Structures are given as structure tokens and as C-alpha cells.
């Protein structure tokens, strides 16, 4: 028997891990058995539509037209296929591959450059790395949404293709939003010393400064050289917080709101905890593509903080949740839990990439539910 939001019949467990190239055809794999099997939960519905199907507002049930006017956030849940270490290495190798190709096109005809590029690209190690890059970045992905390639293309971010390698879990959400804010923070400062060329420039600049301040104006009471400022690219991405209530004392339809609300919070909590599978292996929490139409869209984000506040009288009630039986199968179990009159939920999302204007000019800036799935540009 499945729960309201989770299809326990279709849910499985991962009993081993591929430490070489998980899920990529044509790449040799190395399977290691897990000591603790990891549950892989499957959704009971295409979209968990809190806006239309949950009790989060008081009064009579609103019409679908009225609810469609409510500001909301769309989430597509994802999980990493490879660690950031490996995907980062492939990301840099892919960038090098593109740079070499562009250099070959621009400098075509220069015998010395062509000979050097040919030597590099014919290297067996480079060729194997190039083949591996193609296998990963050319993957079409699985599930209900597009691959990483399509995801970044829909955000006008083709320049960072391959920065993360993920796949959808199947869970999608539509959450109401009670507060909406927008802020932009920039910083300009001294130039970062990160290349041989900047070192040469700094050397020449120091000579000019020493001559101007130490020789020509040594007797002057005030000496200052105005220097140009440089844009400081932020290392941290955008942060957005979504807050909404869930009411346990109002039933909108045929679903029990106590079960519905608790299960939603259970699911978000479980998916955003790491899971220990062996002495050293600990798969991380899930990632999310989050979009608030007309406000922002993050292709890769994580929940940095989840806070659930209990409101009103708290009582014990019986709910159904997934669990693992002795044979390692995902089943449904009834448990007694404390349930308040209402929850106040707060979710803080942190972007894993910088806050770029690309997304504001992309299809992802206009997200909706189309044909039972979260889609961009609809």
C-alpha cells in the first residue's frame, strides 16, 4: 500500500554503488556493495501541488482560477550522479577541449600552433578524457524533465555545461509563497592576482608607483594614486526563503490533511538528509531546480535551512510513512506522531552557481505546470 505522496510499491533500494561512472553506457564500472541499502523513493503523483490540493489558507475552498493567481515556487528535485570532485574535473577538461578547438580555428595556418595542438589532442590520455566527457555531457538523462544539458540551455547558461552531473528523482512540487523579496548585491575592488600576465603588470605598476610617490613627490604631504576597481565575482550564489503554512484542522477534499501535511514534511526532511551506506560512503541530500515565475530561477540549489514551527494545540495522531522491512523492501508503516493545529514552514534555498542575468532572459524565467509536469517557458 502506498501513501498519499509516495508510491512505496514502485520505490526501490540501492544496494551497491558504481564508483567509476554511474549510469553511463560504454564506460567500465566498479560495483561496491553497500552495507546499508539506500531507499530510492518514487512519487505517487506527477506534481505535489500544495497550492491546489493542500490546506494552507483559511475560509472556503478557492477556485482554481483564484489559486492560479497565488504567487508560487516550482521545484524539480534532483540528485548527483557524480561527486563534485569528478564532475568538476570533467567540467575543466571539457572547457580545455573547447578552448583547444577554438584556438585551432582562430590560429589555423600557424604551423607551430597547429603542431602543438595536434600533439596535445592526439595524446591517448586526452583522447580518453575527451571520450569520457562526451559520454557524460551527451547523456540525455532520465525521468520527467530534461537532462543537465537541457536544464542549463533553458537557463541560457550553456557556457557552464557539465558543472554538475545530476538526474531527476521524479519528485516535483508547487509551493505557495507568502513573502516575495528581491535584492541584488555587487562588489568592486582590487584586481585578483591569478595569472602570469597579472604578475607582469603588477611588476610594472609597482615601478611606476615607486617612482611617482617615492621620488617625484617625496616631500608632498599627501600622495595618492587613484587605481581602477575590478568587478568581484561572488563565490556564493543567490539565497531565497519560502514560507507557507499548512493547516491540519481544515480538510479541502477527500484527503486527510494530517496525513497529507505530515507526509510532505517527512518527505522534504528525508530527501534533505544524507544517508549512510558504508563506512566511508554517504550520499548527499537532494538538489533542486527552483523557479518563481518572473522573480528568479536557480538551475542548481540546495535547502540550506528547513524550519517547521508548531502552531496551536499539539495532539498525537496516526499517520502512514515509508519504512524498510527486514528484507530491505520499502513498505508502509503506521506510526503515532505529535500533530499541531498548523505548521509554519520555512525553506531557504542556496544556489550552487552565481547569480547571473542569463536566467532573466531565459525560458526558465516563466515556469508553470503543463501536461502534469513542471515545464519551462509555458
pLDDT tens per residue, range 335-362: 999 999 999 999 999 999 989 999 999 9
Assigned domain for 305 exists: yes
Q: Answer for the pair 279, 35: CB distance below 8 angstroms, yes or no.
A: yes
pLDDT digits (tens, 9 = 90+) for 203-247: 666 776 666 666 566 666 666 667 777 777 776 788 999 999 999
- How much is the pLDDT for 143? 30
Assigned domain for 310 exists: yes
Mean pLDDT of the chain: 81
- How much is the pLDDT for 126? 54
pLDDT digits (tens, 9 = 90+) for 116-165: 545 555 555 555 555 555 555 554 433 323 578 889 999 999 888 888 88
Q: Answer for the pair 305, 272: CB distance below 8 angstroms, yes or no.
A: no
Assigned domain for 226 exists: no
Helical segments of the chain, H only: 50-53, 64-68, 84-106, 111-121, 124-137, 148-153, 196-210, 257-271
Assigned domain for 61 exists: yes
Using DSSP's 3-state secondary structure scheme, residue 123 falls into coil
Assigned domain for 256 exists: yes
Q: Domain range spanning residue 16?
A: 12-181+241-376
Assigned domain for 225 exists: no
Assigned domain for 7 exists: no
pLDDT digits (tens, 9 = 90+) for 57-108: 988 889 989 998 889 999 999 998 877 776 677 777 767 666 666 665 555 5
Assigned domain for 99 exists: yes
pLDDT tier at 2 (50, 70, 90 boundaries)?
Answer: confident
pTM value? 0.82
Question: Domain total for the chain?
Answer: 1
Amino acid at each position: 500500500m502506498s501513501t498519499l505522496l509516495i508510491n512505496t510499491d514502485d520505490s526501490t533500494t540501492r544496494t551497491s554503488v558504481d564508483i567509476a561512472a554511474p549510469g553511463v553506457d560504454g564506460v567500465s564500472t566498479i560495483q561496491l556493495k553497500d552495507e546499508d541499502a539506500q531507499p530510492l523513493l518514487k512519487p505517487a503523483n506527477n506534481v505535489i501541488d500544495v497550492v491546489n490540493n493542500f490546506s494552507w489558507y483559511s475560509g472556503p475552498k478557492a477556485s482554481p482560477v483564484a489559486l492560479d493567481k497565488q504567487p508560487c515556487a516550482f521545484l524539480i528535485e534532483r540528485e548527483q550522479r557524480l561527486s563534485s570532485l569528478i564532475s568538476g574535473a570533467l567540467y575543466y577538461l571539457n572547457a580545455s577541449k573547447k578552448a583547444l578547438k577554438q584556438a585551432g580555428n582562430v590560429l589555423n595556418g600557424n604551423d607551430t600552433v597547429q603542431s602543438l595542438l595536434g600533439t596535445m589532442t592526439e595524446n591517448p590520455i586526452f583522447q580518453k578524457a575527451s571520450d569520457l566527457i562526451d559520454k557524460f555531457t551527451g547523456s540525455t538523462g532520465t525521468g520527467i524533465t530534461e537532462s543537465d544539458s537541457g536544464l542549463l540551455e533553458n537557463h541560457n547558461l550553456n557556457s557552464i555545461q557539465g558543472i554538475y552531473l545530476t538526474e531527476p528523482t521524479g519528485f516535483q512540487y508547487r509551493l505557495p509563497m507568502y513573502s516575495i523579496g528581491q535584492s541584488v548585491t555587487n562588489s568592486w575592488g582590487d584586481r585578483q592576482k591569478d595569472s602570469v600576465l597579472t604578475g607582469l603588470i603588477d611588476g610594472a605598476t609597482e615601478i611606476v608607483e615607486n617612482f611617482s610617490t617615492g621620488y617625484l613627490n617625496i616631500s608632498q604631504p599627501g600622495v595618492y594614486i587613484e587605481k581602477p576597481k575590478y568587478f568581484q565575482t561572488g563565490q556564493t550564489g543567490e539565497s531565497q526563503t519560502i514560507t507557507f503554512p499548512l493547516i491540519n484542522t481544515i480538510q479541502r477534499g477527500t484527503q486527510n490533511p494530517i496525513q497529507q501535511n505530515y507526509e510532505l514534511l517527512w518527505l522534504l526532511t528525508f530527501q534533505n538528509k544524507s544517508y549512510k551506506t558504508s563506512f566511508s560512503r554517504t550520499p548527499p541530500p537532494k538538489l533542486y531546480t527552483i523557479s518563481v515565475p518572473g522573480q528568479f530561477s536557480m538551475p542548481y540549489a540546495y535547502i540550506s535551512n528547513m524550519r517547521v514551527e508548531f502552531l496551536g494545540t499539539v495532539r498525537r495522531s496516526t499517520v502512514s510513512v515509508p519504512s524498510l522491512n527486514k528484507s530491505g523492501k520499502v513498505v508502509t508503516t503506521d506510526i503515532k506522531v505529535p500533530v499541531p493545529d498548523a505548521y509554519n514552514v520555512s525553506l531557504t534555498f542556496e544556489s550552487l552557481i552565481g547569480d547571473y542575468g542569463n536566467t532573466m532572459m531565459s525560458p526558465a524565467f516563466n515556469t508553470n505546470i503543463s501536461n502534469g509536469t513542471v515545464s519551462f517557458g509555458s
